[in-house]
Amino acid sequence: MKNILAVVKPYLRWFILGGTLFFLLKTFKAHWQEVAAVRIDTWGWLMLTVATSITFLAHIWSGWVWSWILKAFRQPCRQLWAIRVYLITNLAKYLPGNIWHFYGRITAVSQAGGSFGAATLSVLLEPLLMAVAALIVALICTGLGWLETNSDLRIWGLQIFFLGTILVGIHPRILNPVMHQLSRIKGNAKETKTLDGRNKPSLQATGTRPHLDSYPILPLVGAIGFLLFKGIGFLLTIIALQSVVPEQIPQLLGTFSLAWVIGLIVPGAPGGMGVFEAVAIALLDHSQFSAAIILTAVALFRLISILAETLAAGLAWSFKLK
């Protein structure tokens, strides 16, 4: 069995990427005439502009959340510096492998005098908290009947299982031993420079192993805020194309959250590209939102997300810290 997995694993991401692209192209081919007929009026362009602005703020907010995680691990990183590093490295998630944004952040924290183990755990904990936030929103919408899952209790059960597993896994009693093991990778005493330019022994050198003192409640709340920011951006993208009644808002937010978290965890999709769109198309109620509206909305939101991330990275790059 292991030999089979070893052979299949290198091709798994290409299979997933190819499958999602095939689904999207097939769906577009079936509805391209309706998509071509979609028109965006002045109100729609205004909504898209607001959606871009809110998505832009969402990424700045997520950088702020990462700075809270670093602070929880007692890393010598200033808040503005952490946000700047986060935004600059964010675009690297679209590179093949989907790990280069993590590598950039770990390297930056280590070079700034932080612990390699804590830096590694910070970039792993951040998407885990985002996944928890997305599952919480999706579960609320599913449990209240706002998000249809074909009444399949297995889907609801899997969401609860993964949510519970992650919530337990990020508890300090479980996370701290893992982080202590990672902190040894860097070795012992090492002289590094802190952000203010002064030489300072690394955390390993001082004998202090970085750890979480308490459950990361504040970063988790911040992650929920990020999902709501992004979800509102997606909601406004839909509103730019058709009117939305209040009763439809929970469905849209729940669909966005579930599609986003699946795009996050599925391998072979840099930045969730393709997977997010395919899941959103499959989950949205086609009796309330036509295929043309859904296809146009997911395409526009992907463009909005990339534009917002590019603007945020450019702003962070131009902002020089003393």
Distance CA 89, CA 12 (A): 26
In the predicted model, what is the mean pLDDT of the chain? 79
Read off φ and ψ for residue 141, nearest 5 degrees. -70, -40
pLDDT at position 247: 83
pLDDT at position 33: 64
pLDDT at position 193: 45
Closest CA to 142 of 153, 129, 128: 153
The angle, 0 to 180 degrees and rounded to 10, between the axes of the packed helices 249-265 and 275-283 is 150
**DSSP states along 80-130:** HHHHHHHHHHHGGGGSTTS-HHHHHHHHHHHHTT--HHHHHHHHHHHHHHH
Reply yes or no on whether the pLDDT at 111 is more than 50. yes
Six-digit token string for 289: 């939102």
pLDDT at position 142: 65
pLDDT at position 196: 46
Closest CA to 130 of 33, 208, 36, 65: 65
- Give the end-to-end CA distance of the chain in Å, rounded to a whole number: 55
Six-digit token string for 76: 């010598």
Q: Which residue has the higher pLDDT, 116 or 145?
A: 116
Per cent of the chain over pLDDT 90 is 32
> Mean of the pLDDT values across residues 259-283?
81
Res. 43 pLDDT band, cuts 50 70 90: very high
pLDDT at position 205: 38
Of 14-28, 119-133, 229-243, 248-262, where does the model show the most confidence? 229-243
Q: In this predicted model, what pLDDT tens digit does every residue of 165-218 receive, in sequence order?
A: 888 888 888 877 876 666 565 444 344 444 444 444 443 433 456 678 888 899
> Mean of the pLDDT values across residues 220-231?
94
SS3 282: helix
Q: Is 271 exposed, middle or buried (0-12, 13-18, 19+ CB in 10 A)?
A: buried
Q: In this predicted model, what pLDDT tens digit does every residue of 75-108 receive, in sequence order?
A: 888 899 999 999 999 988 888 777 889 999 999 9
Distance CA 76, CA 32 (A): 53
pLDDT at position 246: 86
pTM exceeds 0.75: yes
Res. 28 pLDDT band, cuts 50 70 90: low
pLDDT at position 305: 92
